[in-house]
Amino acid sequence: MRLSNAILRGVSGAYILQSGLGKKDLPLEAYEGLQGMAATGIPQLKEWDAKTFGQALWLAEVGVGGLLLTPFVSKRLAGLALTAFSAGMLTMYFNNNEMTQDDGIRPTQEGTPLSKDVWLAAIGLALVVQSKG
């Protein structure tokens, strides 16, 4: 594995893994809040049980983080997983009017924490593109 790939995978993988582990034992009210936010991007998530949603969320984050941190997982698979994960996160950003300014792209103060997921999407895409070369 090239150093550039190790850096891309290590930083993003550790960040997502830590985020997932931090959600493992949240109270039901916290899962309900996360679910409400996620439903702004993917409305079908409203139909899920909040506890089931919370468990699926933290397991998905730990899974994506683990894929990125595991050296024998291909760049392509790790990149596709990260791209899909960040695309899901960005749906909340772009589908919530409070997150973007009037142009629908630049973040508001509330949108800045979610807008950072564009960096994760770029890292995922870079890993996919590098896997073809």
Give me the DSSP letters along the chain: --HHHHHHHHHHHHHHHHHHHHTTT--HHHHHHHHHHHHHH-GGGGGS-HHHHHHHHHHHHHHHHHHHH-TTS-HHHHHHHHHHHHHHHHHHHHT-TTTB-TTSSSB-TTTHHHHTHHHHHHHHHHHHHHHT-
With bands split at pLDDT 50, 70 and 90, how would you rate the model's confidence at 133?
A: low
Number of structural domains in the chain: 1
When pLDDT is averaged across residues 38-46 and rounded to a whole number, the result is 91
Per-residue confidence (pLDDT) for residue 2, from 0 to 100:
83
Residue 13: which domain range?
A: 3-131
pTM to 2 decimals?
A: 0.87
Question: Is residue 47 predicted with pLDDT exceeding 90?
Answer: yes
Each residue of 98-112: pLDDT tens digit? 889 999 899 999 888
Each residue of 51-81: pLDDT tens digit? 999 999 999 999 999 999 999 999 999 999 9
Percent of the chain clearing pLDDT 70 (strictly above): 99
